[in-house]
Structure 1
């Protein structure tokens, strides 16, 4: 009898262990299922992030924070002015540090063209600014001074000054039609990023329709604020200017094979686009060439256009023409040494 009692006691003991083990196993399975569901929910919340598109009926906020990206918790390395607030006709002056990738260049202390810093050593600009029609007399790049991190052209210090190590013009740049009006400048040294010196983001993909028609972009530059054809005494602006411009549709006329934005003809819609107003309300102008046209997308600024050419400044039915940067993403990456 005693032996049977011992056997029964052992059985009860082991049964308790088995029950406890089984309950712990069930609890572990429940915790695992909860973890999987939570992870999947977080993944889907990130993968379904919407792209912010700015339409012509809304103005992008220059106070948008680049550090509140919906796709990453880390600060974005380009297109984010630390001191953000927000040739330009009917524009407004920019605050110091608002556009820290903006570049001015030309002979010593003379502004000729603009550009944008896209890596620590490379600037993107318009090819026509550095092109010479006389192959026997090319532009002397040793006389060109690069100025980065300034808003006022008179506020230049040694830290803002750079020289050119190399210029890369697009091989197929056409000085007559301004097709492929794009160039890269390699600096003599890497920039040191600060509150006033940052890089501008490139578009993330190749596209021949980006930026889309009717979106609103921002143009910046030190160009003339009055059309020199109207006022011969017109001067460039010493203070960096900014203005909003809508992207315009391009109409193709097959009967004479022309592409028009209002009355402005362009050669290649895949590589060029127009931005401006039918009534000439605002526009880029002389000495704005090479300067960036920017679009606020996914919590950062992207370079979508390069100031290329126009007929006069802020003329009715004659908007400015810009190089479509998204058409040259491969060309840019193939030539930059990261």
Structure 2
């Protein structure tokens, strides 16, 4: 059963910019449109894109009537040229027979600037550099680049295609000035006024200062200026990104209400009826367009700028469970039962008979649509899948009919920030936060707030004075406190009630973990210092390793963590050595499977994963305040590797030396007032020093 859970996690979607393959061989994917066709520009006016916008130099490449996706090289010259294409290898020497031609150059071994200069020295008037690994090429020609021919970058796949079209006429262009462009991460659907729905996994750790929404988007290559600012995000409070992506839905509230066509949602009963009769459904998005199976290596990225669509068939959950169980059983050579596949009532499946068509990488959060007697309506949200458009593994979508009440509660009633996780807290330490409560109804509401905890949780309290009476369209701050009197994991719900039964309400989920003082670690690592206090806990506390005069993380299972925390006060530097032996994500090292993470005063600043021997680290310039340094060994839901532990030793805090002011000297003159005048100058000279010291302590 445990091994099966590995597989189920592998199918789930993460919001990353690259694919990752799990150790089971099943592909971890973001959904995309595969085997579809170009959508009509005006057919899906509610379709929206989650985007980041930035200034960039626009580039282009056209050859034989085909436009290829290109990237800009920093410090590259502007210009537009049309000429025959010639192969220049990796550009390590002056390219021959390139007079008045465009050089096609492979990435590898030689600096980009050298490649371009070798092209120009041979008479080339433009250069195209293609990648030697999967994905598009990003690079710089350097601040000292002196060439003057335009240069663009393309993918490895497109480079291979161009090698088959040598001596064809190509046109490349590099703009002289930057323009605002956008990069899409997920899709979304506009449901009216200032609200959109998307997948919860698209918004984990999202920063609304950088993320925007382009409502009614069709072509991502233009329209970045139309992107709308986000006011608030509401991830479903029961969203589960663990064993299965359950309740994978979120609401986005825009800063401003807009007038725009909106999609309507299929109710729960209708969604079940449509699935039972295997109704046709259409999924749309900007995702990759190449299918691959669960065991295959992911293909090169092929995400279009223009919206695509594909028609699929809905499946009942019973049929989908059977198909998934059969596919898992074959893949794992094990007997997987339908009830073990993790499909819940909040999900709905769709596939294409024979495979080759479906949603996959890049389409997360976008709509699954059905054409009913009320017109096009949304029945699902692109959530997760295994492989891409596989005949064996149906795609899984969040069933929007399951969430219509929750959506209504947020958009027309009392909404609250749905999830808050307090930082790991030393025992007997208090934390506080504020959750925003908004009255999205048209009426003033008198509100009460109740904490609902389980039998083992305690320490939470709320101060609702500011939110007792809340006018229509107004917000307030609900203060939530956690007093870590008892170690362990603590969970609670904040239930909101309104005096008006016509004003719906929502709830929030809060959690905190308190860890206990550890005298054994104090003795091992503090060397008698009373300034350093150690705490440890989590699913298992850290342990002593006397052979190394070190401490090691506890023996935890999948999806667990072991924490050790150091508290001290004052300015100075902290040095230590850390080590880890853990499962490493070699495909994407920036997103480790298991690893040892470092947090400084609540912010993650570093991590190590894989096989890392003891390595020294120094945290310099710590300010004169209270500090909490947390080392967290954390495991994902997958397999283990190596010793499966982190280690720590030689922890030393070095306070900043305080330089005393120079002593006052006795004046040699005894004239009346002489000494007073001298001391006045001394006091004024010392004031800036003292002010800086006070300021740094804040």
What's the TM-score bracket when you normalise by the shorter of the two chains? Answer: 0.5 to 0.7
Cα gap change, 1:279/1:119 in structure 2, threshold over 3 Å: closer, same or farther?
same
Paired residues of 1:250 and 1:260 also in contact (CA < 8 A) = no
Aligned to 1:281: 356
Q: CA deviation at 1:310?
A: 0.3
Paired residues of 2:214 and 2:227 also in contact (CA < 8 A) = yes
Structure 2: which 5+ residue stretches go unaligned? 1-31, 54-181, 329-337, 413-440, 442-698
1:100 equivalent to 2:45? Answer yes
What CA distance in whole angstroms lies between the structure 2 residues aligned with 1:329 and 1:192? 22
Cα gap change, 1:210/1:182 in structure 2, threshold over 3 Å: closer, same or farther?
farther
1:269 equivalent to 2:344? Answer yes
1:335 equivalent to 2:410? Answer yes
5 Å matches for 1:113-262?
A: 113-131=186-204, 138-158=205-225, 160-176=226-242, 177-193=244-260, 198-204=261-267, 209=272, 211-213=274-276, 214-227=278-291, 230=297, 232-251=299-318, 260-261=323-324
**More RCO (CA 8 Å, sep 6+):** 1
Cα gap change, 1:174/1:210 in structure 2, threshold over 3 Å: closer, same or farther?
farther
What CA distance in whole angstroms lies between the structure 1 residues aligned with 2:206 and 2:50? 13
Paired residues of 2:266 and 2:378 also in contact (CA < 8 A) = yes
Q: CA deviation at 1:334?
A: 0.6
Aligned to 2:385: 310
Q: CA deviation at 1:206?
A: 5.8
State TM-score, norm by structure 2. 0.32
User: Where is the helix percentage greater, Structure 1 or Structure 2?
Assistant: 1
Paired residues of 2:369 and 2:379 also in contact (CA < 8 A) = yes
1:110 equivalent to 2:150? Answer no
* Helix, strand or coil at the partner of 2:275: coil
Cα gap change, 1:208/1:92 in structure 2, threshold over 3 Å: closer, same or farther?
closer
Paired residues of 2:291 and 2:357 also in contact (CA < 8 A) = no
Paired residues of 2:272 and 2:316 also in contact (CA < 8 A) = no
- CA deviations 1:1-57 (Å, max 9, x no partner) are xxxxxxxxxxxxxxxxxxxxxxxxxxxxxxxxxxxxxxxxxxxxxxxxxxxxxxxxx
- Deviating 4+ runs (over 3 angstroms): 204-208, 227-232, 249-253, 258-262
Cα gap change, 1:192/1:280 in structure 2, threshold over 3 Å: closer, same or farther?
same
Cα RMSD of the aligned pairs, angstroms, is 2.3
Aligned to 1:91: 36
What CA distance in whole angstroms lies between the structure 2 residues aligned with 1:332 and 1:210? 22
Paired residues of 1:284 and 1:320 also in contact (CA < 8 A) = yes
Q: CA deviation at 1:236?
A: 1.4
Quick check: 101-110 or 225-234, which moved more? 225-234
What CA distance in whole angstroms lies between the structure 2 residues aligned with 1:113 and 1:305? 15
* Helix, strand or coil at the partner of 1:294: strand
Cα gap change, 1:110/1:249 in structure 2, threshold over 3 Å: closer, same or farther?
same
Cα gap change, 1:259/1:174 in structure 2, threshold over 3 Å: closer, same or farther?
farther
Structure 1: which 5+ residue stretches go unaligned? 1-86, 132-137
Q: CA deviation at 1:246?
A: 0.3
What CA distance in whole angstroms lies between the structure 2 residues aligned with 1:273 and 1:226? 23
Aligned to 2:21: none
Q: CA deviation at 1:299?
A: 3.5
What CA distance in whole angstroms lies between the structure 1 residues aligned with 2:344 and 2:270? 12
User: Where is the strand percentage greater, Structure 1 or Structure 2?
Assistant: 2
Q: CA deviation at 1:118?
A: 0.4
State TM-score, norm by structure 1. 0.65
Aligned to 2:122: none
Number of equivalent positions: 237
What CA distance in whole angstroms lies between the structure 1 residues aligned with 2:263 and 2:359? 20
* Helix, strand or coil at the partner of 1:117: strand
Paired residues of 1:227 and 1:234 also in contact (CA < 8 A) = no
Q: CA deviation at 1:332?
A: 0.8
- CA deviations 1:160-197 (Å, max 9, x no partner) are 3101100000011110210000000001111232xxxx
What CA distance in whole angstroms lies between the structure 2 residues aligned with 1:329 and 1:155? 33
Q: CA deviation at 1:269?
A: 3.4
* Helix, strand or coil at the partner of 1:112: strand
Cα gap change, 1:244/1:302 in structure 2, threshold over 3 Å: closer, same or farther?
same
Q: CA deviation at 1:97?
A: 1.4
Q: CA deviation at 1:292?
A: 0.3
